Amino acid sequence: MTRFLLAGGGTAGHVNPLLSLADAILAASSEDKVWALGTKEGLEATLVPQRGYELLTVDRLPFPRKLSGYAIWFPFRLWNAVRQAKKYLKTYQIEVVVGFGGYACAPAYLAAKSLGIPTVVHEANALPGWANKLGAKSAKAVGVTFKSTPLPNAQFVGMPLRREIEELATGADKESARLAFGLDPDTVTLLVTGGSLGAKRINETIEDSRKVLSAAGIQVLHIMGGRSDLEEVRTKDYVRIAYCDRMDQAIAASDFAVSRAGSSTVSEFAAVGLPAAYVPYPVGNGEQKLNVAEIIEASGGLMVLDEDFNSEYVANTLVPLISNARALSEMATNAKQVGVSDGTERLLALVKGVL
């Protein structure tokens, strides 16, 4: 029996691969034990218990970017979080720590190092965060989703995917998936999603482009996300919903997608061979542009800046492309050649290699 602590959270990009690995560990051996370490504020506070795992928590400690009162007190608060993490490691007799990035990881890495417990780092983005940069310095193994990720001694493993996405990579029932959303089973379908919180530019541009898309014979499955002011709509060729709890079906129903370029989204689309126009999130450190670099180079997708994604782009670029069955097929093949559908298995092997 091996005791694992999986640390990470904050966003779905950190939590979902953590849960995928947790499931794989227990599927491989029912005798193994798994705990998760996160914060009370992140998505892990909901998603981890829902999946049946115990969530241990430390304080949420963003790394200070400028001199302030918070920056002065940060080392002391970090020390307290490390002390709490060490207590967990001792209490649950943890034998290996796996970190996925996020606020809980730095305390976990530092605590494990002080106790001589091996660590494994998995970095989801092409541009690593500060916690994983810290953890990689002493980790026994480092796995990355993208080959270009600049971490020392990293091994390319891809993204640990949800099981339903892994199964989708082997084949999809497009007809049934379209019918599940009330769409025509024989019409080319565009999936639009800005992630769980939505994307204002994407939502508004697609709303402005509805007539053009309809006239071109393209039906749309539009998932708005939680911050849109638009109302839900269901017509014969346009379905707009706030949330979708079956993204595997949404992906299966689609021939092309428009989305942000989060690492999970890019990895899922590539694994199943869904070509897309990626609109990187325009705020932050620019990691989303880097996430799509390889798939763009392989001609498995397009990248368009947020400021350039408008109704003219949809009419002049996307409509001709989506209407070209041969071009779509070639892009789908290219995307799948870049994608990794067994990232969970690869990461599990990496973790077991340090035991």
For 178-221, the DSSP string reads: HHHTT--TTS-EEEEE--TT--HHHHHHHHHTHHHHHHTT-EEE
Which residue, 97, 143, 99, 138, is CA-closest to 117?
97
Domains in the chain and their CATH numbers? Answer: 3-159+341-352 (3.40.50.2000), 165-338 (3.40.50.2000)
The values of phi and psi at residue 167, to 5°, are: -70, -35
Sign of CA dihedral 284, 295, 7, 193: positive
Q: Enter the tokens of residue 100.
A: 């996925």
* Strand ranges, E, within the chain: 3-7, 33-38, 55-57, 96-99, 119-123, 141-144, 154-156, 189-193, 219-223, 233-234, 238-241, 256-259, 276-278, 301-303
Which residue, 106, 117, 53, is CA-closest to 84?
106
Q: Quick one: average pLDDT of 244-258?
A: 94
pTM of the model: 0.92
pLDDT bin (cut points 50, 70, 90) of residue 70 is low
Q: Quick one: average pLDDT of 164-193?
A: 92
Mean confidence (pLDDT) of the chain: 92
Q: Quick one: average pLDDT of 194-198?
A: 64
Which residue, 115, 121, 118, is CA-closest to 88?
115
Note the pLDDT of residue 72.
Answer: 54
CA–CA gap between residue 187 and residue 175 (Å, rounded): 10
Note the pLDDT of residue 286.
Answer: 82
- List the end-to-end C-alpha distance of the chain, in Å, as a whole number: 11
Q: Enter the tokens of residue 1.
A: 């029996």
CA–CA gap between residue 201 and residue 214 (Å, rounded): 20
159 or 284: whose pLDDT is higher? 159
pLDDT bin (cut points 50, 70, 90) of residue 10 is confident
Over 70: is that where the pLDDT of 64 sits? no
Instruction: List, as own/partner pairs, every contact residues 56-65 make where C-beta atoms lie below 8 angstroms and the sequence separation is at least 24, other chains included.
Output: 56/5, 56/88, 57/104, 58/84, 58/85, 58/103, 58/104, 58/107, 58/108, 59/84, 60/103, 61/103, 61/106, 61/107, 62/103, 63/106, 63/130, 63/131
pLDDT in tens, 13-48: 889 999 999 999 999 999 999 999 999 988 899 999
CA–CA gap between residue 2 and residue 35 (Å, rounded): 11
pLDDT in tens, 255-298: 999 999 999 999 999 999 999 999 999 887 788 999 999 999 99
Over 70: is that where the pLDDT of 67 sits? no
Over 60: is that where the pLDDT of 198 sits? no
CB 350 within 8 A of CB 143: yes
